[in-house]
């Protein structure tokens, strides 16, 4: 029996989510009394075997094909499908990221197997041959689904940030597998790429000052911008705001926006609908500024100010400036 971890990488650089995947795969293999093996796709990822062996994979499969120079969902999915056919693992686990979901779905479609994305828990008694019970995130994490995967080979992705990477080194064997890729799967390779400019983003900023429908207009975000500036933070918003065209979607927090985890989230004129909350709930502290003491965000936040944001936000900025002698 085998548990196969798919190692997500970008042009040879391992992604942070992969460490959790390797650790979860190793734990599951231990529980099942199975071998823990890993797969990298493309020769540009061969050098990752060093770090993968630190996580205890006994065999590292390296899928090679001269076309595998960059990411391509069809080609990666087909590579996984061919490796799975060859080594017939009982469980295949990948990262719960955009790419992770995509390549597992691709492989599952090619193998005509079920797949469960964003798994949070796996049955602690699973031995490898029976149907696998998992708990997975629905509604972007607002709801949990207990479900059962009934197939000889189970394909899953692990929800992000659920399992922390823990090393447990071994001497891994390397097994190169030449995969065959026809022209049809080569179509969807990345053709071009504009690198991201480094800097604080909504996802990484320790302070987020966010506005909702209560802000009222695009112009009325100026005081929020000012407060964010004083705190070296960034401005976020709710979907009501992006739908009104007041701000760009890149600022949206929530299920279909960005997941954030700042030290403090200051939510101004936001009601805290579940789809918004799910994007903000990982914040270490939440301060709600709202006229409605019953608003969902007020009752769920650690701190709240009841009042009109148009008055409260400038007053906070004024107080900061006073204390900083600005």
Partner 1 sequence: MNILVCVKRVPAPGARINITPDAQQVDTAFLGFTVSPHEECAVEQAVQLIEKHGGDVTVLTLGPVEAEEQLRTAVSTGVAKAVLVPIDTQDWDPQRTAHALASVIAELEVANGKYDLILFGNESADSCGYQVGIRTALKLGRPIVNGAKGLELENGIATVRRESDAGVEIYKLKTPACVGVKEGINLPRYPTMKGRLASKKVAITQNAATGNEGGLKLITLRRPPERASNTKILGTGPDAASAVVDLLEELGVFK
Ligand X SMILES: Cc1cc2nc3c(=O)[nH]c(=O)nc-3n(C[C@H](O)[C@H](O)[C@H](O)COP(=O)(O)OP(=O)(O)OC[C@H]3O[C@@H](n4cnc5c(N)ncnc54)[C@H](O)[C@@H]3O)c2cc1C
Q: Which of residues 296-315 bind partner 1 (CB under 8 A)?
A: 296, 298-308, 311-312, 314-315
Name the packing angle between helices 309-324 and 222-230 (round to 10°): 30
Angle at 28 between CA 147 and CA 111, to 5 degrees: 60
C-beta of 192 vs 219, nearer to partner 1: 192
Query: Is-contact 39 46, C-beta < 8 A?
Result: no
* Binds ligand X by CB under 6 A, chosen from 72, 96, 257, 262: 257
Q: Which does 217 bind (CB under 5 to 8 A by kind): partner 1, ligand X, none?
A: none
Return the range that interacts with ligand X (CB under 6 A); candidates 3-11, 13-21, 222-230, 265-273: 265-273
Q: Are 38 and 19 in contact (CB under 8 A)?
A: no
State yes or no: residue 128 binds ligand X (CB under 6 A). no
The size of the interface with partner 1 (CB under 8 A), counted in residues, is 101
* By the rule CB under 8 A, 69 interacts with partner 1: no
Query: Does 141 engage in binding with ligand X (CB under 6 A)?
Result: no
Among 270, 286, 287, 305, binds ligand X (CB under 6 A): 270
Q: Does 94 bind ligand X (CB under 6 A)?
A: no
Residue 217 binds partner 1, judged by CB under 8 A: no
Q: What is the DSSP letter of 131?
A: P
Query: In terms of CB distance, is 110 or 310 closer to ligand X?
Result: 310
- Label residue 298 exposed, middle or buried (CB < 10 Å: 0-12, 13-18, 19+): buried
> Which residue reads 């022209």 in tokens?
183
Query: Does residue 190 interact with partner 1 by CB under 8 A?
Result: yes
Nearest to 295 by CA among 241, 214, 224: 214
Span near ligand X by CB under 6 A; candidates 55-63, 81-89, 98-106, 208-216: 208-216
325 Rama class: left (phi>0) / alpha (psi -120 to 50) / beta: left
- Asked whether position 213 contacts partner 1 by CB under 8 A, the answer is no
Phi, psi of 7 (to 5 degrees): -90, 110
Residue written as token pair 């927090």:
253
Q: Of 22, 137, 179, 215, which lies in the binding site for partner 1, with binding defined by CB under 8 A?
A: 137
Please give the Cα distance from 42 to 71 (Å, whole number). Answer: 9
What character string, x for contact with partner 1 (CB under 8 A) and - otherwise, covers 230-269?
A: xx-x-----x--xx-x--xxx-x--xxx-----xx-----
**CA 283 to the chain's CA centroid:** 15
The site partner of 112 among partner 1, ligand X, none (C-beta below 5 to 8 Å per kind) is partner 1
């Amino acid at each position: 029996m085998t548990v196969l971890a798919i190692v997500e990488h970008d042009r040879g650089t391992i992604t942070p989510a992969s460490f959790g995947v390797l650790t979860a795969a190793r734990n599951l293999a231990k529980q099942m009394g199975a071998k823990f093996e890993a797969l990298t796709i493309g020769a540009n990822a061969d050098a990752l075997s060093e770090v993968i062996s630190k996580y205890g994979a006994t065999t590292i499969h390296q899928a090679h094909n001269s076309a595998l120079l960059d990411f391509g969902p069809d080609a990666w999915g087909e590579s996984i499908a061919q490796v799975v056919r060859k080594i017939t693992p009982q469980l295949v686990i990948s990262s719960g990221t955009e790419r992770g979901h995509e390549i597992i779905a691709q492989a599952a479609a090619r193998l005509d197997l079920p797949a469960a994305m964003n798994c949070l828990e796996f049955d602690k008694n699973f031995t490898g041959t029976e149907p696998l019970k998992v708990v997975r995130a629905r509604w972007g994490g607002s709801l949990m689904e207990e479900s059962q995967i009934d197939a000889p080979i189970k394909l899953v992705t692990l929800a992000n940030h659920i399992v922390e990477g823990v090393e447990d080194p071994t001497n891994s064997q390397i097994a190169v597998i030449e995969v065959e890729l026809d022209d049809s799967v080569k179509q969807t390779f990345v053709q071009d790429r504009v690198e991201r400019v480094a800097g604080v983003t909504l996802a990484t900023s320790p302070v987020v000052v966010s506005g909702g429908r209560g802000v009222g207009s695009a112009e009325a975000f100026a005081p929020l911008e000012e407060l964010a500036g004083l705190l070296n933070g960034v401005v976020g918003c709710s979907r009501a705001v992006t739908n009104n065209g007041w701000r760009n979607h890149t600022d949206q927090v929530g299920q279909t926006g960005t997941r954030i985890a700042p030290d403090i989230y200051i939510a101004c004129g936001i009601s805290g609908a579940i789809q918004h909350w799910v994007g903000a709930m990982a914040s270490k502290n939440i301060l709600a500024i709202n006229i409605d003491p019953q608003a969902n965000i007020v009752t769920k936040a650690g701190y709240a100010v009841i009042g009109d944001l148009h008055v409260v936000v400038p007053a906070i900025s004024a107080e900061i400036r006073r204390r900083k002698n600005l």
